[in-house]
Amino acid sequence: MSNESKHIESPPSWANRFLRWYCRPELLEEIEGDLHEVFQRRIAAKGVRKAKTFYWLNVLMFFQPAYIRKRKNHTTNHTAMFKNYFKVSWRNLTRQKMYSAIKIGGLTLGVAACLLIALFIRHELSYDQQYPDADRIYRVVGVYNIQGETTKTTYFPAPLATVLPEDFPEVEAAGHFIGSELIGPKSKLVRRADKAENIYEEGFVYADQELLNVLQPHFLQGDLSQALTEPHTLVLSQSKADKYFPRENPLGKTLILNDDESQPYIIRGVFEDFPATSHFQYDFLLTLTDTESFTGDHTVWRRNIFHTYAKVRAGTNATQLASKLTEGIVKTYMVAGWKEGGLANAEDLAKNVSIELQPISDIHLYSKGIQDGFSHGDIRFVWLFGAIAGFILIIASINFINLSTAKATKRAKEVGLRKVVGSFRINLISQFLTESVLFSVVSFILAGLLAWLLLPYFNELAAKSLVFPWKEWWFLPLMAAVAVLVGILAGLYPSLYLSGFQPIKVLKGRLQSGGKNSRMRSTLVIFQFTTSIVLIIGTFIIYQQLDFILTKDVGFDKEQVLLIQGVDALDEQLPSFKNELLTLSGVEHVSISNFLPVTGTMRSGTSFWKTGREETDSPLDGQLWQVDPDYISTMGMELIAGRNFNSEIASDSQAVVINQTMARELGMDDPVGQEITGGGWPAMPVIGVVKDFHFEPLTEDIKPLSLSMGRGGSVASVKVNTSDISEAIAAITAVWERFSPNEPFQYSFLDQSYARMYSDVQRMGRIFTSFAVLAIIIACLGLFALSAFMIEQRRKEISVRLILGASLSQVFRLLTQSYLALVLISLLIATPIAWYLMQRWLEDYAYRIPIRWDVFLLAGLIGVVIAVLTISYQSIRATLINPVDNLRNE
């Protein structure tokens, strides 16, 4: 009998569960018994498999209205319950004012910061979306792998734009342009032909008609398809048209540039200003046919000074097209140009050159390492600030979680009573989530108002023009959805924890705080302070690097050098102007040149060889600057070999002074007296070697450079040696007004121009610091409230210890030591994280500071001080209360 019982089969368990779920309780026992009885008979008659199959069929047959349990309509109950939840939540919010204020205040600060960062990120990600067919517009990028180093550049010869649509059917159109700073001064004097007063303007670019066809800016006046087809024509932005021709039709009118009346520019069109979210920020587009500074600029394949943009046909694979361009452009046209320039091993060099196509929408954020002359953002900053926003929101949410769970004992009786009168756990979870969502919604409303008030200051800090998208249909619904989501996520753990209390223990007073809940709170506090300390360390290192950049010896003296723009307008009077300046008491040196050791000024790249090179030698890419004999002394540069230029020595007009890097890269141990060639120039004797100086940002190594003697230029560099700068400027202004009474006197200082090279990094550093401070404040708010509540819970213990003889310092140490331990643990965790992150950031700089141990020590000390100050008020207050007041009811 026992052997048979071992083999009795049971009905399918899932079928039984389904039956018990839907069947009316009063019928379940009878139906289930009958089905079991029939199941056993079927096993004997038809076998186990068929018996189980028929059992499932019988269960499904009973699934009909007569047997399905009735579901009560809880709509009214739900409405009433949620009204009660809301009422209780509002009472808790108003009754516990300090804790509610900290909960809401911390979350409000966190959400406001996230809103501002979200606006910043949205702005950065929206660049260059305004062009028609933006998804089909690409910028041509050259990739050069020379001697193990990779260089990317967007500078190409002019014929590339013509060849692209002719030789490659995938290319619908291609245009090119050149910034005015590459062929002359970045700023120009502008006036109407019928006016005498000039105004300095920037934002000039020389472009061809095909570039307009590719970009298709929104034309307000004129014919887009014919605007730049003729010489000496231009199109200008709406803002400039309104400035020079208010309430007039500017079409056909004439502008004079740099007071050159022999080449007036006729206006052929007015376009809508490029938005702030465009990398192409120009107000004056001049016809490209007027830019030939060297013979053959527009025809030869060895003058890499033009940017080329192409529009491809729909469905074109850009990667495959780039491979075709590498084969068709580099190995055919560019190789021929290199050979024409005297490069014998052009075919070998071409093996290390390729072409890429960069989507126009990627230019702003994904151009790190590309030499293009534009100021653009960095996708890593977007990710960084996105991460900071996330951490700030998490820190604020942790305050809510910690305070909610810490006050669990205050809500325990409420939970117990609700369970006794019939509330299920799901009802309690709903109640606490409702309370959490209420806190979140209130915080989001206040955060929106706070962010709106702070936006002007943030715009000034970030140098942006951000606006709230109030009018966008998605904004308010998205804010509401995120508010609910944050409320649910922040309140989920406290809801599960509070709803899990057992009624018997609660009502008998046996509920014990601590345990897992205390460990969870400690873990969350560690996370908060780890994040805060990482931000503190990051702030210190960023500012140390910025200080290093701005104070580093860059190889020239940038202090008290006045830069006067537009001196080329003086023409034949320029030598007299220079001599007049030198007679002033505060002026030491004056130099005239277009080339300055700061970005945004004129550059002239070319390839160099040492004379007598082997035919297989690769060229050395470098800069060739034209300067006057006073340039080196004016800039405070140091000659370490040879001599400076001398205008009285005729042969010096063909000579060069090179920097140390060029001498080293060309293998010239004793360069003075040797010759170099490059860029189609005849052999140039080296008469001197100047000590290396930085003329590009410190993110880049010093490049090879040669200086040749020239006399022209648009910028006068004036070295002033006086304690009264304003007096010197006034004297120089008086000289300018005598020589050029109709032109404005525009000047700047070299050190300011140098600092502007790092304005983006300085700006990002200030934003980073602001949000780091905010994150620390939010963490401290939470620690303050948490310590206040925990001390309140231990008041009787504190009183007993004081009565038994404990000193105030002992009690203070008892109350603070656990929090200090958490801060020290946070420091240990934060140190390797911060070191890794900042080491990666510093790798962008060719010249950078070492990360020293004292930064981590100082950050840890600040963290400890912040924690002590945060909890000291409550701790000292607790030790000073009369013990009798706490033990009176015991």
* 306 has a pLDDT exceeding 60: yes
**Helix, strand, coil: what percent of the chain each, to 5?**
55, 15, 30
**Residue 669: exposure state from Cβ atoms within 10 A (0-12, 13-18, ≥19):** exposed
What pLDDT digit, counting tens, does each position of 712-750 carry?
788 999 999 888 889 999 999 999 999 988 788 889 999
Task: Please give the C-alpha separations between residue 701 and each of 106, 147, 149, 688, in angstroms, as whole numbers.
Answer: 45, 15, 12, 22
d(CA 258, CA 399): 62
Residue with tokens 């190409």: 156
Residues of 4-43 as b/e, b for ≥16 C-beta within 10 angstroms? eeeeeeebbeebbebbeeebeeeeeeebbeebeeebeebb
Tokens at residue 77, please?
A: 């109950």
Give yes or no for a contact between 712 and 616, defined as CB atoms under 8 angstroms apart.
Answer: no
Give yes or no for a contact between 131 and 137, defined as CB atoms under 8 angstroms apart.
Answer: yes
What pLDDT digit, counting tens, does each position of 663-708 carry?
999 989 999 999 998 766 788 999 999 999 999 888 888 999 999 9
d(CA 870, CA 745): 55
Rg value, the chain, Cα: 38
Tokens at residue 600, please?
A: 């945004």
Mean pLDDT confidence for 495-518: 63
Question: For residue 124, what pLDDT is reported?
Answer: 94
Picking from 514, 497, 477, the residue whose alpha carbon sits closest to that of residue 400 is 497
What pLDDT digit, counting tens, does each position of 781-792 carry?
888 877 877 777
Strand segments, DSSP code E, in 535-599 are: 561-565, 587-593
Q: How many CA atoms lie within 13 A of 663 on its CB side?
A: 24
What pLDDT digit, counting tens, does each position of 18-37 carry?
888 888 888 888 888 889 98
Give yes or no for a contact between 287 and 206, defined as CB atoms under 8 angstroms apart.
Answer: yes
Amino acid letter for position 815? L
Tell me how far the alpha carbon of residue 464 is from its chain's centroid.
Answer: 12
* 494 has a pLDDT exceeding 70: yes
Question: For residue 649, what pLDDT is reported?
Answer: 92
Tokens at residue 189, please?
A: 């004097």
Question: For residue 890, what pLDDT is reported?
Answer: 55
d(CA 87, CA 174): 67
Question: For residue 855, what pLDDT is reported?
Answer: 92
Q: Which residue has the higher pLDDT, 130 or 348?
A: 130
d(CA 705, CA 677): 13
Most confidently modeled of 142-151, 618-627, 689-698?
689-698
* 879 has a pLDDT exceeding 80: no
* 139 has a pLDDT exceeding 70: yes
Residues 6+ apart with CB under 8 A from 106: 395, 396, 399, 400, 778, 781, 782
d(CA 355, CA 168): 14
Tell me how far the alpha carbon of residue 137 is from its chain's centroid.
Answer: 24
Residue with tokens 């008469």: 687
* 567 has a pLDDT exceeding 70: yes
What pLDDT digit, counting tens, does each position of 539-561 carry?
999 889 988 988 889 999 999 99
Q: Identify the helix (H) or strand (E) that includes residue 606.
A: strand 605-610
Q: How many CA atoms lie within 13 A of 838 on its CB side?
A: 27
Q: Identify the helix (H) or strand (E) that includes residue 141.
A: strand 137-146
d(CA 472, CA 632): 57
Q: How confident is the model at residue 76 (pLDDT cuts 50, 70, 90)?
A: very low
What pLDDT digit, counting tens, does each position of 469-493 carry?
988 889 999 999 999 999 998 888 8
589: β partners:
719
Residues 6+ apart with CB under 8 A from 284: 190, 201, 203, 204, 205, 234, 235, 236, 237, 240
Tell me how far the alpha carbon of residue 585 is from its chain's centroid.
Answer: 47
> 317 φ, ψ to 5°?
-85, 110
Tokens at residue 242, please?
A: 């309104």
* 882 has a pLDDT exceeding 80: no
Question: For residue 368, what pLDDT is reported?
Answer: 86
d(CA 99, CA 785): 7
Picking from 500, 479, 482, the residue whose alpha carbon sits closest to that of residue 490 is 482
* 195 has a pLDDT exceeding 70: yes
Most confidently modeled of 51-60, 159-168, 188-197?
159-168
d(CA 388, CA 769): 11
Give yes or no for a contact between 302 and 262, defined as CB atoms under 8 angstroms apart.
Answer: no
Question: For residue 711, what pLDDT is reported?
Answer: 72
What pLDDT digit, counting tens, does each position of 432-450 carry?
888 889 889 999 999 999 9
* 511 has a pLDDT exceeding 60: no
Question: For residue 617, what pLDDT is reported?
Answer: 63
Q: Which residue has the higher pLDDT, 146 or 820?
A: 820
Q: Which of 106-115, 361-370, 609-618, 840-849 has the lowest mean pLDDT?
A: 609-618
Give yes or no for a contact between 255 and 199, defined as CB atoms under 8 angstroms apart.
Answer: no
Give yes or no for a contact between 150 and 143, defined as CB atoms under 8 angstroms apart.
Answer: yes
Task: Please give the C-alpha separations between residue 681 and each of 447, 665, 782, in angstroms, as whole numbers.
Answer: 64, 19, 70
**Residue 468: exposure state from Cβ atoms within 10 A (0-12, 13-18, ≥19):** middle
Task: Please give the C-alpha separations between residue 642 and each of 191, 426, 467, 589, 665, in angstroms, as whole numbers.
Answer: 46, 88, 58, 21, 18
d(CA 302, CA 534): 49
> 697 φ, ψ to 5°?
-55, 160
Amino acid letter for position 849? I
Give yes or no for a contact between 660 and 622, defined as CB atoms under 8 angstroms apart.
Answer: no
**Full-model pTM:** 0.80
**Percentage of the residues of the chain whose pLDDT score is greater than 90:** 43
Pairing between β-strand 254-257 and β-strand 265-271 as defined by DSSP bridges: antiparallel
Give yes or no for a contact between 605 and 623, defined as CB atoms under 8 angstroms apart.
Answer: yes
What pLDDT digit, counting tens, does each position of 106-135 carry?
899 999 999 999 999 999 999 999 999 999
Tokens at residue 127, please?
A: 């660049």
